[in-house]
A and B are shown apart, each in its own frame.
Chain A
Amino acid sequence: MSQDAAPVRALDASAGQAGGREPLRRIVITLGPILVSLVLAGGVLLAVGVDPIAYYGFVLDRGLLSPLGLQQTLTRMAPLLFIAAGLIVAFRAGMWNLGGDGQFLLAAVTAAASAPLLVQTLPSWLALLVACLFSAFVAMIWSLVPALLRAYQGVNEIITTLMMSFLGVSFANVLVKLVFLDPATTVPQTRTLPVADRLPRLFETTVTSGLLFGLATIVIVHLVMTRTAFGLKLRIVGANPRAAIHAGLNVPLLTVAVFAISAGLIGLGAAVDIVGIQGNVRADWNPAYGFAIIPVVFLARMNGFAAIGFVFLLSVLWIGGESAARRLGVPQSFTLVLVAIVLITLALAEYLDHRFNQARRA
């Protein structure tokens, strides 16, 4: 009996673990490319006339080492963790929800519009909870069209979610300017939630308690995806939809559920950002978290725990990069350039690793 080596590529990192050398190799082919990317990005910085050591030092200092910077970094993580959790659910089920930004902004506007009104009648904690649920619900509704099209007509969700995202971003903008405008200010923005009514801060710091909710959410999502029957069903739909049908799974229903959960989590992230940190939504505000998190989720190989680490890293780069942008004149978007370089080198490392494995087997 021959052991045919099938060219099976595991997208699902949890699917096949092998012997004890495996984790070490994983760490090497994950961290190695990151170091290479820092060097490559340093080359880019040199080319534009910035001392890379100074830049990285500044990023590290402002994003990680200074107490204030670290608190900002941790605060920034809160919405990002929710978005990462939402994308993990979708990507593991093989559905490319690229509509995160539209879902996020509409949910943000919902939270910003409802929370200031709700706190006037309800106890603060209940008001925030209800606002969060409203937001999640609105984001779910926004994902419904792509979900139904994919589930029952087989329409590619990459296109539809992207389209809905553009519509959602514009629609959110319209809502702020025309419907939920705060009459008390001249800038087009929603009413502002009083600081006292926002999510509490942790201890004596400026870090929002949304961070804890985000951490809990992503851990729960990870456990649901890896340890439960529901998560396994979603992963089967993602890995082999025909096997899902053969096994008798209700694929259209699961598809709609995946979109709803994914968008709902992203909506929660938006709500936490608004009721915990921002307090209101200004017209034309679009942090574009959704697109920034997609590569992070891939870097983490859709593993929730790894995603926490990478979200932290991204937040450090982001917060540090914002300060460095002001001091050293490096554009803010250089953070994304760095993330992109990391992604490309990581893909190359994966490819080389695969080639090396094949050569060894042959």
Chain B
Amino acid sequence: MEPINEGPQTGQAIVTLEGVTKRFPGIIANDQIDLEISAGEVHVLLGENGAGKSTLIGMLSGLQQPDGGRILVDGVETAIRSPSHALSLGIGTVFQHNMLVPTLTVAENLALGGPWWQRPKIAELAARVAEIARPLGIEINLGARVSELSLGQQQQVEIVRALLRESRLLILDEATSMLTPQGIAELGALMRRLVERGLAVVFITHKLGEAADFGDRVSILKLGRKVGEIPPERLRKLERAALVDEIVDKMFGRQAGDDAVSIPPRAANDDVLLEVRDLSVPATADMPGLEAISFTIGKGEILGVAGIDGNGQKELAEALAGQRPAAGGSVRLGGQSLDDLEVGARRRKGLRYLTDDRLGEGTVGPFPVSINYFLKQIGEPPLWRSGIERSREIESRARSLTHLYDVRTPALSTPVGRLSGGNIQKVLIARELAEGAKAVIFNKPTYGLDLANTLATRQRIRDIAGEGLAVLLISTDLEELLSMCHRIVVISQGRLVGTVTNGPGAGEKVGRLMIGLAA
């Protein structure tokens, strides 16, 4: 295995994935993924947060094991047992977050992982690094402390480290996320030189432009499924603009198995129910703030919020629910101001928030299903009387909710964390739609659900709108929004950048707003 010295063997598959599936509690992270990673190609994996990119890399680098399907290395079915096993198979990974020790020198970092009973052979190392780095046009200062290097230089060190271990396949996870534009261009050139020398590169990104600029082959992931692949022949033929269009179409376009479009009819009385004016939330270190968010939702209306994940959707939902303090603006429900109310009071007024983080904050995993129905009503009659739990009332109410919302659970006392994602979602829906709901915020309600549950959840949302509730539907799945919303607003970097009335051509308009183009 001396890939650096071998001539290019373009087109030969190094790793092949066949129907690889990976499930986590409540979520299908990868659903029947087929992928072929060949020598001499930069294979771009494109997808939003939560599309399943990280899980896929986890399985390739030996951190996780697939639940279904098979992985072939050089045409032979192989279970990649551990990160060191992956390395011995020639699969090297450069993770999104730097894996170097900042207080050690470059040489010391490169020597890590050698046998512990030997002194690191620095001289030998220097010769090998020079041999690898020179043809790639990388300069490595072995004596420098890692903390003194720029992020781009650190990344180069990590790439060289992977090559030192004789990697034939190099996985770069969101490698450009912390680089300057110039650094990104340099990385692109470096990837080109690597594949020219016969390596395979898997480049993971959520940026369309990078996929178009650097890729020989682009595979598009969406909600755990592979929804499209653009092979090298086609990629070379297309103009950049046409290519971006095609990728947008694949990322946001219709897929087989998607739901039919069915927009619930509006009630005769469509007064404004939820009114938000100039809502703003200060930004924090890792979250965008919200700026001057204004919208209204009428009775029986479904207002969609579209946008790339992480543009303030969660902050918006939390600010409305009262879970995150707002810096300014007003929220009115049915003419009543909610501004000074806390989570519980807003809920009692009829504003409900169905979180996307079902296990993280939506439920208490080890607690029984029955208690999880009532997490937001603790202490309220008739389930509690003078603060004392009334088991029989809780039991019978939980039983009827389980029946009504078709929650499949072995028993009411089963810990909710043991249920599948679809059933946990039903528990949350049952909880939020409980008596008195007027406006409901759904945050990514079908994220990670299988098809049957996805369709059932969407129908449930249409039904409650049909009953006259106001619905705010936050989703990163444009198709979902188009299938049921009356209007769609687009959020980008904490601002609403446009409103589109649903109808023919709405999808393209929203899609263009989402990636920062004018509608």
Show the binding face of A for B, using Cβ within 8 Å.
1-12, 15-18, 227-230, 232-233, 235-236, 239-240, 242-243, 245-249
Known pairs A4-B421, A228-B388; A246 contacts B355 (CB<8 A)? yes
Q: Are B23 and A240 in contact (CB under 8 A)?
A: no
Which residues of the other chain, B, contact A2 by a CB distance below 8 angstroms?
A: 23, 420
Known pairs A247-B376, A248-B322; A1 contacts B361 (CB<8 A)? no
Which residues of the other chain, B, contact A6 by a CB distance below 8 angstroms?
A: 25-26, 359, 365, 415, 417-419
Which residues of the other chain, A, contact B360 by a CB distance below 8 angstroms?
A: 240, 242-243
Q: Is B367 an interface residue (CB 8 A)?
A: yes
Q: Is B343 an interface residue (CB 8 A)?
A: yes
Beta-carbon contacts under 8 Å, B331-372 to A = 342-344, 347, 355, 357, 359-368, 371
Min distance, Cβ B220 to any Cβ of chain A, angstroms: 26
A251 to B347, CA, bound (A): 18
Min distance, Cβ A302 to any Cβ of chain B, angstroms: 13
Q: Are B375 and A236 in contact (CB under 8 A)?
A: yes
Q: Is B389 an interface residue (CB 8 A)?
A: yes
Known pairs A7-B25, A230-B387, A236-B375; A247 contacts B413 (CB<8 A)? no
Q: Are A232 and B418 in contact (CB under 8 A)?
A: no
Interface string of B419-430 (1 = CB under 8 A from A): 111110000000
Residue of A nearest to B390 (CB): A227
Q: Are B415 and A15 in contact (CB under 8 A)?
A: yes
A10 to B417, CA, bound (A): 10
Residue of A nearest to B371 (CB): A232
Interface size class of B (residues with CB under 8 A): 35 or more
Known pairs A242-B360, A245-B361, A248-B322; A15 contacts B367 (CB<8 A)? yes
Our pick among A1, A12, A16 for the contact of B422 (Cβ within 8 Å) is A1
Q: Are B378 and A1 in contact (CB under 8 A)?
A: no
Min distance, Cβ B198 to any Cβ of chain A, angstroms: 41
Our pick among B25, B323, B362, B389 for the contact of A232 (Cβ within 8 Å) is B389
A248 to B432, CA, bound (A): 13
A4 to B375, CA, bound (A): 23
Beyond A229-B387, A247-B378, A248-B344, 15 extra complex contacts between A and B, CB < 8 Å: A1-B453, A4-B26, A4-B421, A5-B418, A6-B25, A6-B415, A15-B367, A16-B366, A228-B388, A229-B389, A233-B378, A240-B364, A243-B362, A247-B343, A247-B376
Which residues of the other chain, A, contact B453 by a CB distance below 8 angstroms?
A: 1
Which residues of the other chain, B, contact A11 by a CB distance below 8 angstroms?
A: 366
Beta-carbon contacts under 8 Å, B362-420 to A = 362-368, 371, 375-376, 378-379, 384, 387-389, 408, 411, 413-415, 417-420
Min distance, Cβ B217 to any Cβ of chain A, angstroms: 32
Q: Are A243 and B378 in contact (CB under 8 A)?
A: no
Min distance, Cβ A157 to any Cβ of chain B, angstroms: 21
Q: Is B271 an interface residue (CB 8 A)?
A: no
A196 to B322, CA, bound (A): 58
Our pick among A7, A235, A248 for the contact of B343 (Cβ within 8 Å) is A248
17 pairs, CB–CB < 8 Å, chain A vs chain B: A1-B453, A2-B23, A2-B420, A15-B415, A16-B414, A16-B415, A228-B388, A228-B389, A232-B389, A242-B357, A242-B361, A243-B361, A243-B364, A243-B375, A245-B323, A247-B343, A247-B375
Our pick among B26, B322, B388, B421 for the contact of A227 (Cβ within 8 Å) is B388
Residue of A nearest to B353 (CB): A246
A262 to B361, CA, bound (A): 26
Beta-carbon contacts under 8 Å, B144-169 to A = none
Q: Among B323, B364, B418, which residue has the most Cβ atoms of chain A within 10 A? A: B364
Q: Among A6, A232, A239, A240, which residue has the most Cβ atoms of chain B within 10 A? A: A6
Min distance, Cβ A240 to any Cβ of chain B, angstroms: 5
Q: Are A239 and B366 in contact (CB under 8 A)?
A: yes
Q: Are B415 and A8 in contact (CB under 8 A)?
A: yes
Our pick among A3, A236, A247 for the contact of B420 (Cβ within 8 Å) is A3
Query: Which 10 pairs, one residue from A and one from B, show the smallest C-beta to C-beta distance?
Result: A248-B343, A229-B379, A6-B25, A8-B417, A248-B344, A10-B366, A242-B361, A246-B361, A16-B415, A6-B417
